[in-house]
Amino acid sequence: MLMRKTFVLLSFLSMCFLAFCFCTPGNQTDDTKIKTIIKNIRNTLTYMHYRPQIINDSFSEDVFNLYLEKIDPNKRYLLQSDYDEFKKDYHHLDDYFNNQDLRFFHATIDTLFQRYKEAKEYSEEILKEPFDFTKDEDFLIGDDAIAYAKSKAEAKDLWRKYLKYNTLTELIRLQEDSTKMDMPLVELEKEARENVSETISDFFRRQAQLKKDRFLTHYINSFTEKYDPHTSYFSPDDKDDFDVNISGQLEGIGARLQDKKGYATIMEVVIGGPAWKDGQLEVGDQITHVKQKGEDPVNIVGMLLDEAIRHIRGKKGTEVILTVKKKDGTSKEIKLIRDVIEQDEVFARSAIIEDNGEKYGIIYLPEFYTNFNDRNGRDPSDDITKEIIGLKKENIKGLVFDLRYNGGGSLEEVVEIAGLFIPKGPIVQVRRSDGQLRIHEDKDPAVLYDGPLVIMVNELSASASEILAAAMQDYGRAVIVGSHKTFGKGTVQTFIPLDQRTFNPDEYGALKLTIQKFYRVNGGSTQLRGVTPDIVMPDLLTYADISESNSHDALPWDQIKAIKFEPWQNSFDIDYVKTKSSQRLENNSYLKLIDQAAKYYQELDKIDRIPLNIEKFKSDRKSREEQSKQFDSIQVYKTKLNVYSPQFELPKFENDTILRERRKEWHKNLTNDFYLEESVNILKDIS
């Protein structure tokens, strides 16, 4: 979860600013710049992190292990001898961090780049010859099963098995293609191998373009994540991407791109954007050159896609000229004026749910988005206000607020949203490491929506989602419905630019830093334990190891004093609600099937080897398919609910057919949603 930068800088950074100094930019070599970044990060962590660390040999050991896992997670490149050589610095990384010594970083990445070249050579040689799929051997995939190769010969053999596995899966895909069923196996194997060769060649083409600074984030974050899993370094490009994602808005031409054999290829033109309005750019077109006004064109063929995109993006109102290779082979120049593009799937949306002639509303909020760079940008509190007003005009009898998979966002926004459902009062307590406490409260006595309310959550509802669910639960304002608990992230982060002279992340990037923990109004922390719903139902994530409690360096759970607040006056009898729901769900065959499926999929995650004998591979796959069939009905569950767009949204569909189709798909998914069906039943119980 993030807080607005203005608040943090005024109330927290000012307190610490005189305690230490930062390096500032100048004419620097790459190494000098990296050292400055590391020094500023170390100082920031020391003076501002919620839980400062003792940087010693034990710290160094953990950083070493984490870093090696980040740069070669599948042990596919580095050799055991590389690992042994690196391990000589097992207890030195703490000193390197304190002294900005880069020898370990350079040694590891230089070695990794060399291993990339060798793997490319292995692949080219291996894929020239047919594979023998009658041989009994396995491809290892489990973390505990994989080990570093003891020699280059063993490394080459591991790559052979990896490529053989990819070719095997491609071969079976071709065998199941009705147009190729009569082809001899030898020809299918050759085609499968050629397809894999093309994919692998393209992969190594991109790998060859990587520079060391791409791995700097891995190196630095191996240190920062020892403080807690949410403290991390963002390069200038990473910070720019984060701002785009959290705001749901970007400035550009309005086209989605994908890398196809080195070409930045149009995969979608966004309706309403500059490219759509211009009408010349089409799906499948390849952008070869990008020219800014007054500059020479830049050839982006073969460039990494994210770098190519950065050339195409730009500030609203600026001009960009694209040289485009059309699908018919011709080339043309297309001049576009960039504009703000909104990513609709990020923003709040609503629908009408009709059940037995009664209308209910649902609002889905994917994240608590906010625009740090534009105070006039979209905020979820404003959007949800509009959605509620529109739903109320349709005389809904209750509202479902869907926070499933919502990973959080702006703390300020969650407080605003909570205030839409209750009179003024505290929403969340936020405490610094020195014990200083601040209470974030809704100061507006107005209540926008006072009807029955259900909040849906799951294991991936985190941070700001947990604040909202917890506050509504403590006030007795809403019934919380979901899996056994939410994610369990009870910490607050802010971004600190590493250039302390200009406070601009464009030079050195920024550090996302944990500075506070938040607590419910009842004093309990959501850290690690999350929020326990009032109505608990298993889902497919129930047994997955994805929550905060599975992170080794997560901050601990604790509790502080409760604060006074006025519970919701028109509250419901939660015991009655639980009893009614329990009666409906008792011995429910669908929920039992969900629970069985969750356990089964968790067991699949424990598989650590795959047979490369084609008959055994097919036999194993057939066995899994047979077992999985018992869970097919999960996907075809059908409620009696009728879901459709509210009246105020219909005019949007006149010009935006893509939005209309996206809404239809969402509505279809909702009519198959068992958890929504039970949530509507609960709304009836509390009406």
* Residue 554 DSSP label: P
Distance CA 275, CA 520 (A): 47
Distance CA 229, CA 512 (A): 11
157 is catalytic: no
Tell me how far apart the alpha carbons of residues 251 and 338 are, in angstroms, rounded to a whole number.
6
Amino acid at 525: S
Pick the catalytic residue from 381, 410, 463, 483.
463
Residue 539 CA to residue 369 CA, distance in Å, equals 26
Whole-angstrom Cα distance, residue 170 to residue 495? 44
What is the rounded distance in angstroms from the CA atom of residue 617 to the CA atom of residue 603?
18
Summary count for the chain: helices (H), strands (E): 22, 22
Report the distance separating Cα 67 and Cα 369, nearest Å. Answer: 31
The rounded distance, in Å, linking the Cα atoms of 239 and 512 is 9
Cα 373 from chain centroid?
21
Other beta carbons within 10 Å of 241: 16
Between the alpha carbon of residue 209 and those of residues 78, 183, 302, 677, the distances in Å are: 19, 38, 9, 50
Of residues 94, 474, 499, 673, which has the active-site annotation?
A: 474
How far apart, in whole angstroms, are the C-alpha atoms of residue 125 and residue 155? Answer: 13
- Rounded (10°) angle between helices 185-208 and 103-126: 160
d(CA 122, CA 55): 41
d(CA 363, CA 30): 48
CB distance 329 to 646 below 8 Å: no
Residue from 489, 534, 539, 547 carrying the catalytic annotation? 489
Which residues share a beta bridge with 349?
Answer: 364
**Catalytic residue list contains 489:** yes
Q: 518, 514, 492: which is closest to 438 by C-alpha?
A: 518
Residue 62 bears catalytic tag: no
How far apart (Å, rounded) are the C-alpha atoms in residues 49 and 669? Answer: 42
Measured between alpha carbons, how far is 458 from 455 in angstroms, rounded to an integer? 10
Q: Which ranges of 72-102 does DSSP label H, i.e. alpha helix?
A: 80-86, 93-99
3-state secondary structure of 75: coil
Angstrom distance (rounded) from CA 260 to CA 205: 12
Q: Which residues are part of the catalytic machinery?
A: 463, 474, 489
